Each structure stands twice: as structure tokens, then as C-alpha cells.
Structure 1
């Protein structure tokens, strides 16, 4: 592999990397931007390569040697572009400290029913409704990966898990944990029910302490956006649980709450060592 030098920030060969703070191509098609060695190693891991591919790499000149292990994993013919600090910063629109970017493409996802059917008989999934904050989405995926969830389902109002910031916050888990985008939250609940999932919804007003949940078989943890939380019609169709907290506070951050709940449910399902 011979790196291709980029000296002009307007070079059309690296157009997808231009002005990353002002635009993000995720959610507008089947492409996305991955950033940093940890994330790119996740992108090129065995499980991820079944769902994702890499189209090109852009590397900061003084990070080229350190990126060798990543470059060695690329298929032959994938171009690797290299730029010095001034050109790289001009391309991305900010100081790119991580020094390596990839343009990725994801394969067409299965429909929701097909996605759920492919999961194991004792599957644990997270169902997200209205999660529009990229930091929260990334953290939810990180929690899902750490606590052994088999997948994440997002409704049509959620932000894309493959936004650059969401992938980065997830520390690559958004590329490791399988996910599927469904339609409305009510449609997702119907699909979960049809696929044999027991649905547990997180809510400050939940009727059951999360520590008292004893999941059996397929289990879906349903979480909603901060502020409004889950709609009343969704709560009415699920087993509602709460995480006890000190008096005087409103609620936990949704990503923190998801992590605590996943730990408890995964532990009860015997998934943690």
C-alpha cells in the first residue's frame, strides 16, 4: 500500500471528510465516518465486517506509522490518503487529534421482524424511543456492549447510532452491537411481543424496583428520552420498573439509567462473570 498524499483540502477524493463539525453523513444514506484507532479496530473486527465495510482512510501524516495495524487489516485496493496537520485541519474544520478517519458503509439492515428472529432464544435487547442526543445514544450502545446485550432497536425518532460522535462515545460499541431501526415505538413493542420478548420499561414512576425483576427468556429493556420519558401508552403495555434514588432529585440521565438497569437484568439472566 502506497499512501496517496493530499495537499489540497478541496480535493474531491476526500470530500466526505470535509467540515465534519458542520455536517455528518450518517443517517443520510448507508455511509458514515469513523474516527480514531479504537473505533477503527472495532469497525474492522470480525463481527463488524459482516455488517460494515471501509471505503477509504484519511490519516494524519505523523500518525501513519501508528496506524499500520489498521491499514494492514484493509482489503487490497482501499485507498489510504495522508495529509499534514495544516491540510488535515483545513479538511475537517478542527484540530483532528486522533489522526485517522475512515469512510464506512453499512449493509442494508434486515427488517425488524427478521432482526428479532435472528437473535438467540434468551436474547437481551435495548429498545430506544426518542433518543435524540448523540452522547446518550453512544453511551447506551457502550452499556449494551459491556453488559452483553444481543442488540439494540431504535424507533424512527431516534438519532442515528452511526453519527461520528455517537460512535466515538460508544467506544466502537455502535459497530459491534447489532442494531435495527424500526418505525413508531408502538410498532416496535408489537414486534417484540410477537417475537416472544417480555418488555421492561424504565420510568421514575415504575411500579416495580429494578432489583426485583426476574427476567426469563427473551427480554427487552425499553428506554425513553430524558424529560418526556416514555409515552403513557407505551408504559401501559409494559412492565414498568424504577431505579430507587435519593429524595429530591427528578431522575437519572437516560444513559446512566440504562447502564444500571442492564447490569441488573444481565446479572439476573446470568450473563455477567
Structure 2
């Protein structure tokens, strides 16, 4: 489909892109905005979550022929930078956006049942910071985690900032929200639950990988709930005495790297 140049920031075809930050705050009802070249390319290359249209800064169109071709029959709009900034409501330096529709939610029990006998899983509890969600998903993708489970108190992995920080990993790594008891579900599917915690814990370096591992991560500050820690095996990343803790996304990268098996890829 040819690129359509838009000169009116109030063009109704661009309604999903209008006032992006305000729309993000109130929620998009199973829709989202992806931002940046790498993120949009990953979305077009085979994400479960489907693009509906693209909006590109006009001066970037000549260099994005492959992306535009990959969009196929999707509408692709272009606008001069000042028009683009008025549509978005802020200076959009990356100049590449996609309007997406979220896939149907995945059932957590069915997701775990579909995983192989040897697998690495990430489980998040209380992660409400979009930068941390994005960073954890990026690490999960980089180190071969098969999926991410989220407690209901986690923020949305498809929030624009989370998608951007993850470099598109939230669009490609399967995830599901668990409404019931996380530990019961993991036990039913034969996962060893490893709870990352700086206290009362086995050192990460001393662990040998079990076939099915679920790495549990909690919010910065409070960490994982005591009731959950009491039922899982606590695992620590040692740091110098007197310092509180690592950032949770950083911790996830260290732990996932420990369990990563590069020879299987």
C-alpha cells in the first residue's frame, strides 16, 4: 500500500496516535502504540500482537523501504515533523510509530502446559514500574526464557514505555496474568520456584539448574511477599555489605544469564 502523506494533525485516520501520553495514562482498551524502528520491525516480523497502521516522519520514509514493504496492506501514514509532533502531543524524535491491537489474553495454565520439559520461566509480582517491566522482558528474551507470568498487581507489558524499553520483547515473549495461587500453579506444572531475595537465601552461583525453573522477582523495596518466600527456595545475588539491593531488572539479567544454556540455541 502506498504511503499516505497527511498534512492535517486532526485527520481522523490518525486518532489512535493523538495525544499519546494522555491516552496512555487513561488506557487504550487492548490497543497500544509501539515506538521506534527496531520495535516496529519486530512487531511486523511476527508478533502475536498485530499492527493496524504505521505513522512515520516524512523525512524518514526514504530510508524505511524494507519496513514499509513488510507492512504489506497496512495503512502507512507520513507527516512532516511539526505535524507529527502536534499529533503525538510532544516532540517525537524517533519518528516511527505503530498502532497495535493486543492479542487475546493467554491462559496461564494452558501456557505452562505447552512448555517443554526443560524450560526457564520468569514470574513477576508487584512490578509496577514500566522501565523495570521492559528491562525484565528484554532480559527474558535475551536469555531464552520461554514465557513470563505476572501477578495481577504488575503493570501492563504493552504500555508504550514498557514496549520501548524492552526493545519489542513484550511483543514477542508470551505472557499471562495469574489470578490464583502462583506457587500452586507452578507446582502443578513441575517447576522449581526460585525466589530472588537478598535475605535468607542460597547463593545464585551455588545453584545447579533444574529442568523446569521459575524465577520469581518482586518489586524494588518490598521485594517478594513473605508468604511467597516461605514456600519457594530463596536465591541471593551477593553484593557488598551495607548496600541495600540491586535494581530488579538488573537482578533478572544476572540470574537469567546464570541459567542460560547457549548451546541449546
Superposed CA deviations along residues 137-194 of structure 1, whole A, max 9, x for unmatched, are: 000011111111111111111111111111111111112211112225xx22221111
Mapped contact 1:32–1:104 kept (Cα < 8 A): yes
Residues 1:159 and 1:124: Cα distance change in structure 2 (over 3 Å): same
1:168 corresponds in structure 2 to 164
1:265 corresponds in structure 2 to 259
After TM superposition, the structure 1 stretch with the greater mean CA deviation from structure 2, 170-179 or 2-11, is: 2-11
Secondary structure at 1:67's aligned position in 2?
Answer: helix
Correspondence 1:130 to 2:126 = yes
Normalising by structure 2, we get a TM-score of 0.95
1:192 corresponds in structure 2 to 186
Structure 1: gaps spanning 5 or more residues: none
Secondary structure at 1:216's aligned position in 2?
Answer: coil
Residue 36 of structure 1 deviates from its aligned partner by 1.1
Superposed CA deviations along residues 117-140 of structure 1, whole A, max 9, x for unmatched, are: 111111101000010001000000
Residues 1:206 and 1:167: Cα distance change in structure 2 (over 3 Å): farther
Mapped contact 1:59–1:82 kept (Cα < 8 A): yes
Question: How many residues are matched?
Answer: 265
1:31 corresponds in structure 2 to 31
1:75 corresponds in structure 2 to 72
Residues 1:130 and 1:213: Cα distance change in structure 2 (over 3 Å): same
Mapped contact 1:152–1:179 kept (Cα < 8 A): yes
Correspondence 1:249 to 2:243 = yes
- Calculate the aligned-residue CA RMSD, in Å: 1.7
CA–CA separation in structure 1 for the residues paired with 2:150 and 2:263: 23
Q: Which aligned pairs between 1:84-95 and structure 2 lie closer than 5 A?
A: 84-95=80-91
